[in-house]
Every structure is written in C-alpha cells, then in structure tokens.
Chain A
Amino acid sequence: MLHCRDITDRADGYLDGRLPFWERVQVRLHAVLCKHCNSYLHQLSLTIGALKAMGENRAPQAVDDTVQRILMAMPQPTQGDQDASRARANVVIYTTSWCPYCRAPRRFSTGRASPTAKSMSPRIPLGAKK
C-alpha cells in the first residue's frame, strides 16, 4: 500500500498519464480512500490547467515588427545562399521519396547525385555461382 508521501511523488506521472498501469491503479485506489490525497491530486490538476490557460492568454502579437527587424538586420542573400537553398530543396525531396516496392528511401531520385554503375548493377543472389 502506498503512503500519502508516495502519492505526491507520483502525482505528476499520474496526471500526465506516464505511470505504468499497476502504479496508476495504486494511486487511484489510494485517492479513493484518502480525502487529503484526493484533494491534492485534484488541486494540482486545476493548477496545471490554470497555468495552461494563462499561457494561452498571454500570447504576444509583435509579428510584423519582428519580421521588419529581421529583414533590416539581414544582408541580401548571395548566389551561394540561393544555391544552398536549391540543394536543400533537393534533400527534402529525396528524403521524402520512397521505393513503392520495398519501401526503402530513394537516394538518387532528384538528379542531384546520379546512380553509379555499381549501384545499378544487377544483384547476384546469395550462394549463386558467378
């Protein structure tokens, strides 16, 4: 049987749903029998809810001002930046491309790196005579 002190130690895991099943049952059982621990769990849950609500109410709205400051602080992009951007776009495409048959990622689908003769050669099954 868990003591009240053990319940407060496990309260965060219990409220966040991180406790293993058996520990969750033990905490719930204790809270049914102990009004102090029941109050503690309930009040802690309300406090967390109030903190979340407070965070949502305090969202600042300075987006336009921030964007202007960023743009003013930035030098104009160079040709190198634009090349890097194109290369990045290639990476994004070929990391999200998958072979429809074996579900393996396609590593040369964008033309950035063409397949080599070695990678294109037919596979020899294990144990087959050359």
Chain B
Amino acid sequence: MSADLPPALDDLRTQLRDAAARDDEVEARVAQRVRGQRRRHGLLLGLAALVSFGGVAVAERALDRRGEDVRGDRFPADSTAAADAGVVASSATPDPGGGPPWALRVFTNRAGLDCVAIGRLVGGALGRYDADRTFHKLPTRVPGTCEPLGETGLLVAVQYRAVAPARTLVYGLSRDRRPVRITIAGVTRTVAPGGLGAFIDVREGVTKMRGAKAATTVGGRTIVRDLG
C-alpha cells in the first residue's frame, strides 16, 4: 500500500496498474498480428506477381492485346455512383474522433462467398491513413472477410487499428438487414445496417473482446456470434 494514499485511492492505483499491464499486452499482440499480416501479404503479393507475370505473358501472346481503358462518359452528377464500385456508401459510420467516416466494400470472391473489407471513405474511395495521417486509397482487390451469408445469416469481422487514435472496429453483413446488437466489455450498442446489410461499430481504444458478442434476427431466429 502506498503510504500517501487512503485505502480506496490506493486500491484504484493497484487496479489501474494491472489494467495498464493488460492494455500493453493487448497492444503488443495487435502489433505482432499486424506485422505478421504485412509479412504474409508481402509474400502473397510476391507469389501472385510471379504467377501472374508468367500467365499474362502467355495469354498476351495467345489471345488479345490489352489496349487503353475505356474512357468514362459524362453523366449528370446525380446519376453517377456515390462511391467506387463495391463500396457501400450507406454503410458510412462516423469516427468518434471526427474525420472521414468508416465504410465497407462488399463483394463476392471467386469461391462465391460474400466478403467485406473496411476502410475510411474519402471522395467515394475506400482507403486508410498511415501514421503520418496521409490517406492511401486501397486497391479494388483488397482482401476481405468472407462467409456464405445465405447460410450463416450474419457475417461479423473484428479489426484493430493500433496507430493512434486506436480503434476497435466490428463490422459485417446482416442478411435480413435487421439491427445488430454488439456487446463489448459490457457496453451494448445497436447498429442499423445500411445497403446490402452492411454495418459498422467503431469504438475508441483497443478493447478486450473477452465475452464480446454480436446478435441479430435472421428468418425470425436470433443469431448470436461470439467475438472473443
């Protein structure tokens, strides 16, 4: 016990010290995961480049040549898309610290699964900020989290942003577009899905996911996903 503090304030000191240790541990795990993902992503890109370089070279010789991209026609502003293809503008969710909203890209992968990827929405483009607060547009073929939504009814993914300001992002697709209740560390929020059933919950800090859940109603049944 600290000699200067009465029991209640001293008890709080011990609890905060333990909480700081837990928080550091989570932060270290997240950083390790991010480093691992970058390494794997780099290896996959290298492999993909080797494979596609050989394949494209053969295809170009055997089939058609690739010319310039088709130029876009001019349309009135209100008849053009609000966001890049696949980006669900109605999923836009504000960040607690302000700045561009978070949004989802929804797409189907080659295996026919429904997929989502998350980013910040700037000028209709999905991207991310680096540590210098510079926006980088994500490639159209960004990897996502995929599931057969027709069978499962609810797709939920969790991501952390370790670069300040730290965030915990829970997002996904609700097949029946019913509200999704997300409970993390005892705090429940209900989010209303936008187009295609896309939903996002943004929380400040890197939150412990032990006991965290997401729940919605699909086909009249309640579906609960453990996020921990």
Does A associate with B in a complex?
no
